[in-house]
Amino acid sequence: MIRKVVTFWSYIVFIVFASNTFAQEMPENASSKEILEFIIQQKHSNPDLAKKYTQILLEKSRNTNDTEGVFNAHFQNARIATIEGNYSLAIHYCDSAIVTAKKLNNDVSLAESYLTKGTAIINLGDNKRALASYLKALDIANQRNDIQLKIKAKANIAKIKRRMGFFDEALEIYKHNAQLADQYQFEDPLIAINSYMGVGGTFLRLQLPDSTLHYSKIGLQKSLAINDDEGVSYFYIDFGIAYFIKGDFEVAIEYLTKAEKITKGLNNQKRLTEIYYYIGKSYYELKSYQKAVEFLKKVETIVATKNTEKVDSFNPPELLGTYRTLANSYEQLQQNEYYLAYTQKYIELNKYNETRQIEVIKDLYETVRKENDDLSSLTSKLRNRLVYVIMFTFFVLGLCGFFLFKFIKVRKQNKVIFEKLVSQIEAKKVPKKKANFTIEDKKVQAILERLDKLEQSLFYLNSNCTLQTISKKVKTNTTYLSKIITTYKQKKFYEYINELRIEYVLKRLKEDSKFRNYSIKHIAEEIGYKSTNSFTKYFKAYTKLYPSYYIKNLENTLGNDTSN
């Protein structure tokens, strides 16, 4: 009976699923206008289906010499590629749309194509090329005195200003656009959605998360009303960043995870860089450094994968922060080699970004001067900003040289120290200070003999090895034992124990390949330390090297010896 009920409901589910699937197909005799409307309806929620019908529209339009239909197919393909994060492909389709729009002599279509192309370019991190496309669209909008086009073009220029650090000016543009969108109630709902998104995103840059949440909630409702999955994912990202700024890192991760799910469904790999960056940053603030590294490495992987295409270089704004946070995470994890490597990556990328920023500021300066002579104050700001950036670039170059010199110097010093340590271990000459004295007091001699036996039994590797426990084992009190160690071992008690532990671990790491595969935390626990930081601190004080460096070079040295 149960099987029959299950079969019945399975059949019902299949019928519902099938009916929904077939409902998403267009009749073969559908007009170009109907196909276009269907594509626009499906491109956010079902981009694969939308792509199928852009191809149908393109073939149909070419067969009937319908140039407008050809333009619509190219333009919608560009929009879908942008939604999916395939920005190089989006640029390709935009170029086709631009050529077709010029044939149509349609300024509005031409301006929309330039705007879409600029959006694709800016997502690749190239502000200069994106600005060129946006300015072409703005020129057309000004010539036509088209309010909608002006809003779109200025919103995108505001995006670049925001990236360059002109937050107040960007916010003014976005707020004005949102007011106009509410006033005119444009047919295209994305004008209002993008305006609210711009306001919320700019408040994030101004470190005003509560204002972000206010405006982004309005935008989110507008996106949900038209099933705009792309917009919903963007607002969730802004929510996540807002809560990150507020210090509520767990809520931030919750919203960013929601955004990740939608973004993966849209197959927008590049948009995931921002999501993974802030998830990684949130885990860093929660002191989950290994988890932070896991998500930040995803950013680096996506960038590396996209750049293997070698069509357009992908340099998202989050990449610089990713390198810095990875360096900080590895520093906390006591992995010095990775810390230095990512510090170097950060310096090099920052230098490259500053050079590109100078070029964009020059273009913005010329645009402001040309567009409106009344904006003298803004022109002055841009000029001052340009001088600042040039000066800062020289500073970064000097800093880069300093770090490089320091890095090379440290590597050379570390190599010498490492080789000396290894040779001492091989010769059984690990440094150990011994005082020249004659022991006349039999009680002292007995205590020292018991200490030697404890050393041979490796009791110092016990995490409970303290002055109190040892004094009991050598049958004396803590004050007298401390005095004996200071007098006859010529060091304080904690120095005595730590040196024994470090000498032991140096020798064992060299001789035991399995031990070298342990994590730093595991090694620390094995030799009696209750925290990784304590172990690293005393290891570095004794050897002038980090444990990770010593282990890595042992692997390289012993591996080479084996292969030879």
> Is the pLDDT at 309 greater than 90, yes or no?
no
Residue for token digits 């050079």? 355
- For the stretch 99-152, pLDDT in tens is 999 999 999 999 999 999 999 998 887 888 998 999 999 999 999 999 989 998
> Is the pLDDT at 435 greater than 80, yes or no?
no
Which residue type does 452 have? D
pTM: 0.53
Is the backbone of residue 546 left (phi > 0), alpha (psi -120 to 50) or beta?
beta
Segments in 315-375 forming alpha helices (H)? 318-332, 336-371
Most confident of 33-37, 447-451, 517-521: 33-37
Nearest to 121, CA basis, from 98, 92, 155: 92
CA-CA distance, 343 to 424, in Å (whole number)? 33
436 confidence band (pLDDT: 50, 70, 90): very low
Which residue type does 152 have? K
As a whole-number percent, the residues of the chain with pLDDT over 70 amount to 79
CA distances from 353 to 210, 220, 346, 423, 430 (A): 30, 32, 10, 45, 48
pLDDT of residue 6: 38
CA-CA distance, 489 to 496, in Å (whole number)? 8
Q: What is the mean pLDDT of residues 417-421?
A: 70
Provide the domain count of the chain.
Answer: 1
pLDDT of residue 409: 64
Average pLDDT of the chain, as a whole number: 82
234-241: long-range pairs with CB below 8 Å, 24+: 234/197, 234/259, 235/197, 235/200, 236/262, 237/274, 237/275, 237/278, 238/197, 238/200, 238/201, 238/204, 238/212, 239/213, 240/275, 240/278, 240/279, 241/204, 241/209, 241/212, 241/278
Residue for token digits 């995470």? 329
- Classified as helix, coil or strand, 192 is helix
Which of 97-111, 212-226, 319-333, 530-544 has the lowest average pLDDT?
A: 530-544
Q: Kindly state whether residue 556 falls inside one of the protein's structural domains.
A: yes
Most confident of 58-62, 80-84, 300-304, 426-430: 58-62
Q: Kindly state whether residue 321 falls inside one of the protein's structural domains.
A: no
CA distances from 95 to 134, 238, 268 (A): 14, 31, 21
pLDDT of residue 261: 93
- Could you tell me how many helices (H) and strands (E) the chain has, helices first? 26, 0
- Classified as helix, coil or strand, 493 is helix
Q: What is the mean pLDDT of residues 461-469?
A: 88
CB neighbours (10 Å) of residue 66? 15
Q: Kindly state whether residue 27 falls inside one of the protein's structural domains.
A: no
18 confidence band (pLDDT: 50, 70, 90): very low
Q: Which two tokens stand for residue 466?
A: 């303290």
Range of the domain at 454: 442-562
Nearest to 192, CA basis, from 179, 211, 205: 179
CA-CA distance, 269 to 260, in Å (whole number)? 10
Output the 3-class SS for 363-376: HHHHHHHHHCCCCH
> Is the pLDDT at 2 greater than 50, yes or no?
no
Q: Kindly state whether residue 554 falls inside one of the protein's structural domains.
A: yes
CA-CA distance, 83 to 129, in Å (whole number)? 20
Residue for token digits 């963007």? 234
CATH number at residue 518: 1.10.10.60
